[in-house]
Amino acid sequence: MTSRELEEYRALRDTIRERGTARHWLVVVGFGLWGALTLAIVVLAAPPVATMLPLLVLAVVFEAIFAIHTGVERVGRYLQVYFEAPEETARWENVAMAYGRAFAGGGIDALFAPMFWVAALLNFIPAMLSGPMAIDWAVVGAVHALFVVRVWSARMQAGRQRAIDLERYTKLKSESATRDSRGDENSLAHSVNGVDQPQFRRSP
């Protein structure tokens, strides 16, 4: 590993650590803001449509967490393909991926999906307590249902992401190696041609 590669490896590892920490703080701050808004709606006996504001906060927080998670996983797959050699013992990304396949369902939810589903349900309670009309049930209920579906869809996508990114990076690495090999062969061919075919100067 060259000094440049080592620097890149350390920077990407730092990125994973920093984004992981930021994701947890985002959950704490985001749910705190959501709880404050929901409590204010209950105290003020706001109309059902007011529950859309804390739901928007939930949606923004979730999308930010999902984006961070996607980026972290993509960096991890890059490190796995380009920096972790098969003969090495210390291969965190490979081991982590193998662990996830062997013990599926036994880990934590990286997107905090169950928490967001519970929050969406609790967020709908103030709308039910404020005497909603039929249109309120239809509009507010539909928006909450869409958010629940979005969380489920993102969770399914995140579950497939590791294998997809690993396949794509492996393909990119293979194609890059093929191009480099062809370039070396062409350079060697030109060099051989230049040696084997000397230029003769015509006599006057």
Task: Tell me the per-residue pLDDT of 44-101, one tens digit each, with 9 for 90 and over.
Answer: 888 888 999 999 999 999 999 999 999 999 998 998 888 877 666 567 777 767 666 6
Residue 116, domain member (yes or no): yes
How far apart CA 5 and CA 8 sit, in angstroms, is: 5
Residue 123, domain member (yes or no): yes
Provide the pLDDT for residue 19.
92
Provide the pLDDT for residue 130.
73
In 3-state terms, the chain is what percent helix, strand and coil (to 5)?
Answer: 80, 0, 20
Which residue in this structure is represented by tokens 């996607």?
Answer: 70
Question: Among candidates 141, 121, 148, 149, which has minimal Cα distance to 49?
Answer: 141
Q: Which two tokens stand for residue 171?
A: 């393909």
How far apart CA 148 and CA 142 sit, in angstroms, is: 10
Question: Among candidates 121, 127, 128, 122, which has minimal Cα distance to 145?
Answer: 121
The residue type at 167: E
**Greater confidence, 119 or 183?**
119
Residue 66, domain member (yes or no): yes
pTM, to two decimals: 0.79
Is a pLDDT exceeding 90 seen at residue 2?
A: no
* Spatial CB neighbours of 33, under 8 Å, sequence gap ≥ 6: 57
Residue 98, domain member (yes or no): yes
100 is in which domain, residue-wise? 3-189
Residue 198, domain member (yes or no): no
Domains: count for the chain = 1
How far apart CA 185 and CA 193 sit, in angstroms, is: 12
Provide the pLDDT for residue 120.
96
Residue 196, domain member (yes or no): no
